[in-house]
């Protein structure tokens, strides 16, 4: 894997992007609503969430739940190392995380996966089947609907995931019945001219060029559909292209030593181009965004679907991914702490499911929805602990199974939303809980 210093952050500001903005998707907020929310927002909360989605399903038994007493075909090639939490051991290829485990909570018993190769469940807490009218809103969209923009006027929800061959892995979180006004701003979703290296920032700041594109959109739209909105468009795009948002996305403003500390990462998408890159620059961008006032940032990281040869064994891929992940995540945790943001910023790292206990004939591990893992940090949570346990083969929980929705309840509470009472109206106008009322925030953490 080669490192790249100039990784594209946004693939294009195309006419489709402008159309998305005009139909309330690109900016994550409708034009009239943006002005309403910006004017009405009196909240002082700067709580935020960074969600890192490990697309493909990370191997729990090769990262945070090693089974050294299991047979060789289950325990694999890696050895555990001690952490700075007595009695807690993790994989030898995560040495930096091992020295920061007092600032992390390890979930070894994540259950409830629907077994689908998609980000949907990690973004919403729900399965894709049996959805209410309009569909389940993602975490970021629900937060956007309830809390609106931050007091600084920044967009509430940004999705940094890249465009991928396996489209469901690149899902940054859909608005569902929260409404298209609360979709994420996705600077990386289209072929655009905005780059992390800052080459095209002036082009994006060019209000005239943007308004020319909007004029074309108006001409193409149904007659009268956009009448009277020109001022709102100008104001909305003023926010989207404001120096604050552009500054947060422009990593050239960072000291190169900070980018090297994070590790920068690889430019190309991982695997066969069907998943996200190992781009530690995106972790840095997430920190910059929440520091500027964004409430929720999501991103997909790497490709963790390791079925084995001819695409490399589970362990060959892990030796490639884990050190880069270790460096980037630890830099993010340290950076948040040094800036005094760690107590207000919740970080969650997880994938859609775990991997099979038995290593297959090709040296890989296959899909295993029965149990998975997650890492949680910050947000004022009680860290330095393991929650849950699997049996000696890593097949299923034997202690404290933790459902996806329990983690969502915890994240909602961390950001200032009571998950036991908060509802949103679905498309039929019926008040709908964000999570199933049988689930509550994890008492071990809050």
323-350: pLDDT as tens digits: 999 999 999 999 999 999 999 999 999 9
The C-alpha atoms of residue 117 and residue 160 are separated, in whole angstroms, by 19
3 state DSSP class of 295 = coil
The C-alpha atoms of residue 365 and residue 107 are separated, in whole angstroms, by 20
Cβ-proximal residues to 432 (8 Å cutoff; 6+ apart), any chain: 132, 177, 423, 424, 425, 426
How does strand 397-399 pair with strand 389-390? antiparallel
Condensed to tens digits (0 to 9), the pLDDT of residues 395-426 reads 999 999 999 999 999 999 999 999 999 999 99
Between these two residues, 7 and 444, which has the higher pLDDT value?
444
Condensed to tens digits (0 to 9), the pLDDT of residues 64-87 reads 999 999 999 999 999 999 999 999
CA end-to-end span of the chain:
39
Between these two residues, 194 and 290, which has the higher pLDDT value?
290
Q: What is the pTM of this model?
A: 0.84
Tokens of 28: 């994550």
Give the confidence band of 199 by pLDDT, cuts at 50, 70, 90. very low
Q: Compute the average pLDDT of residues 161-180.
A: 94
3 state DSSP class of 367 = strand
With beta carbons less than 8 A apart as the criterion, state whether 42 and 151 touch. yes
Alpha helices per DSSP H over 41-102:
72-75, 95-98
What is the pLDDT at residue 237?
A: 52
> What's the CATH class of domain 46-189+263-433?
alpha beta
Q: Using the predicted structure, report yes or no on whether residue 26 has a pLDDT greater than 50.
A: no
CA angle, residues 140, 137, 162, in degrees to nearest 5? 55
Tokens of 161: 């995931």
The C-alpha atoms of residue 186 and residue 181 are separated, in whole angstroms, by 13
Tokens of 158: 């940004």
Task: Burial-class residue 277 by CB neighbours within 10 Å (0-12, 13-18, 19+).
Answer: buried
DSSP single-letter state for residue 163 = P
Cis preceding linkage at 441, omega within 30: no
Q: Compute the average pLDDT of residues 381-408.
A: 98
- For the chain, give the mean pLDDT: 84
What is the pLDDT at residue 212?
A: 55
Question: Cα 53 to the chain's mean position, in Å?
Answer: 5
Domain boundaries, the chain: 46-189+263-433
E strands, 112-251, in order: 157-159
Rounded to 10°, the helix 230-240/15-22 angle is: 120
What is the pLDDT at residue 229?
A: 45
Condensed to tens digits (0 to 9), the pLDDT of residues 110-163 reads 999 999 999 999 999 999 998 999 999 999 999 999 999 888 888 899 999 988
How many other C-beta atoms can be found within 10 angstroms of the C-beta atom of residue 215? 13
What is the pLDDT at residue 114?
A: 97
């Amino acid at each position: 894997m080669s490192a790249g210093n100039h990784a594209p952050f946004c693939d294009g500001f195309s006419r489709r992007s402008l159309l998305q903005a005009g139909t309330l998707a690109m900016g994550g907020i409708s034009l009239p609503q943006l002005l309403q929310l910006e004017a009405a927002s009196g909240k002082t909360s700067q709580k935020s969430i960074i969600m890192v989605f490990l697309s493909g399903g990370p191997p729990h038994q090769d990262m945070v739940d090693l089974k050294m007493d299991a047979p060789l075909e289950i325990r694999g090639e890696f050895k555990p190392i001690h952490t700075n939490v007595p009695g807690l051991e993790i994989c030898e290829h995560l040495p930096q995380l091992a020295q920061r485990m007092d600032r992390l909570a390890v979930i070894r018993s994540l259950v409830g996966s629907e077994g689908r190769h998609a980000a949907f469940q990690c973004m919403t807490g729900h399965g894709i089947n049996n959805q209410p009218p309009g569909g389940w809103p993602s975490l970021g969209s629900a937060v956007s609907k309830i809390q609106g923009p931050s007091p600084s006027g920044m967009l509430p929800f940004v999705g940094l995931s890249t465009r991928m061959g396996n489209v469901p892995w690149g899902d940054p979180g859909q608005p569902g019945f929260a409404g298209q006004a609360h979709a994420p701003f996705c600077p990386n979703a289209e072929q655009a001219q905005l780059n992390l290296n800052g080459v095209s920032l002036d082009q994006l700041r060019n209000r005239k060029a943007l308004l020319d594109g909007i004029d074309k959109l108006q001409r193409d739209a149904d007659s009268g559909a956009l009448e009277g909105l020109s001022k709102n468009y100008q104001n909305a795009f003023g926010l989207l292209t404001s120096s604050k948002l552009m500054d947060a996305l422009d990593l050239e403003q960072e000291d190169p030593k900070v980018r090297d500390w994070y590790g920068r990462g690889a430019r190309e998408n991982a695997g066969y181009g069907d998943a996200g890159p190992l781009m530690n620059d995106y972790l840095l961008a997430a920190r910059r965004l929440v520091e500027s006032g964004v409430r929720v940032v999501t991103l997909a990281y790497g490709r963790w679907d390791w079925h084995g040869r001819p695409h490399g064994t589970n362990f060959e891929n892990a030796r490639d991914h884990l050190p880069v992940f270790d460096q980037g995540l630890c830099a993010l945790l340290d950076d948040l702490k040094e800036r005094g943001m760690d107590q207000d910023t919740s970080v969650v790292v997880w994938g859609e499911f775990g991997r099979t206990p038995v290593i297959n004939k090709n040296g890989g591990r296959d899909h295993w929805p029965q149990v998975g893992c997650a890492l949680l940090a910050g947000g004022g949570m009680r860290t330095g602990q393991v929650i849950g346990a699997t049996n000696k083969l890593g097949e299923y929980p034997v202690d404290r199974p933790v459902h996806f929705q329990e983690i969502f309840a915890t994240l909602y509470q961390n950001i200032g939303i009571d998950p036991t009472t908060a509802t949103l109206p679905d498309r039929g106008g019926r008040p709908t809980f964000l999570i199933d009322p049988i689930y509550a925030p994890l008492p071990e953490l809050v």
